[in-house]
Amino acid sequence: MIQQTDFFLEGGRRGVLLIHGLTGTPMEMKLLGKGLHRAGFTVHGMQLAGHCGDADDLLATGWRDWYASVEHAADALRDKVDQLFVGGLSMGALLALKLAADRPGQVAGVGVYGATFRYDGWSIPRLARLSFMLPLLKKLGIGRDRSFMEQPPYGIRDERLRAQISSAMLGGDSAAAGLPGNPWYSLAEMYALAADVRRRLPQVNAPCLVAHASEDDVASVRNAELVMRGVSAPTELLLLDDSYHMITIDKQRRTLIERSASFFGNIADTGA
């Protein structure tokens, strides 16, 4: 059963839509959201379609459903603010980039946090690195009930936080910590999304803050470099040297919050 875990923090007329990652939850964006709210922004941490339930709930949806829920959330937030910014973590970063490509006149800036076009970080098992082949397996009807299980350190360098998150995730609390594994078919959908976004990167003309862990265990810095090379917009790179993949909650989250608030604020001031 899917639980509703999105959050809304009302602030000024500058809005930020925050998008979590595949098998994740809005809770992974809440500390960033609170920081942006303190800086004066109205913030909506949305919940992607099919998420915060069980694997069957997720498998009932695909990337077009996830993106449709992003568009719906963006429309709702635009009714409340004058300027719309969007930020996403991991797969959420791809959805944020797609929204910016599709709506160049609406998205003022993008927070690209730990963008994941491929799972190629140092903790990813060799077999899982072949997951780019999953769209073919899905087309052949192979492996619907299979998943790649999450591996330590679960994207978190902070050991105390890692213990809390992994306990909730492995204990079945998907609303708080997400699913403990990535279903093969959902990963196939993510790779289809990644291919679409990669083609669309030149159409992103909103400035991008590209933040990535320099030792990302899930998605290597090559993913960030792909964004930097691909978009048409001005970019700013923030490499975090004391965090792993989940940079919105890990050790350097305050640095990420400060840089995001400054980045979005400067764009908003210039636009005003």
Averaged in consecutive runs of 10 residues, what is the pLDDT profile of the chain (272 residues)? 92 97 96 98 98 94 98 98 98 98 97 96 75 72 77 92 86 76 91 97 98 97 98 97 98 98 95 60
pLDDT at position 125 is: 75
Of 119, 186, 178, which Cα lies nearest the Cα of 146? 186
Query: Under 8 Å CB-to-CB from 270, ≥6 apart: which residues?
Result: none
- For residue 157, the enclosing domain spans 7-271
What is the pLDDT at residue 152?
86
Give me the pLDDT at residue 127, please: 63
| pLDDT for 246 | 98
Q: Is residue 203 part of a domain?
A: yes
Burial class (CB in 10 A: 0-12, 13-18, 19+), 183: buried
In a domain, 2, yes or no: no
Residue 188: CATH number of its domain: 3.40.50.1820
Asked if residue 125 is part of any domain, the answer here is yes
247 CB burial (10 A radius; 0-12, 13-18, 19+): buried
Q: Determine the residue type at 136.
A: L
Task: State the pLDDT at residue 64.
Answer: 98
Q: Find out whether 44 and 24 touch, Cβ atoms under 8 Å.
A: no
Q: Are 22 and 182 in contact (CB under 8 A)?
A: yes
At residue 177, the pLDDT reads 73
Residue 25 lies in a domain: yes
Is 152 within 8 Å of 206 (Cβ atoms)?
A: no
Q: Is residue 1 part of a domain?
A: no
DSSP secondary structure letters along 9-66: E--SSEEEEEE--TT--GGGGHHHHHHHHHTT-EEEE---TT-SS-HHHHHT--HHHH
Q: Scanning the structure block, which residue is given the tokens 């339930």?
A: 53
CA angle (138 as vertex; 134, 144 as ends), nearest 5: 100
* Total number of domains constituting the chain: 1
* Contact predicate 208/110, CB 8 Å: yes
In a domain, 264, yes or no: yes
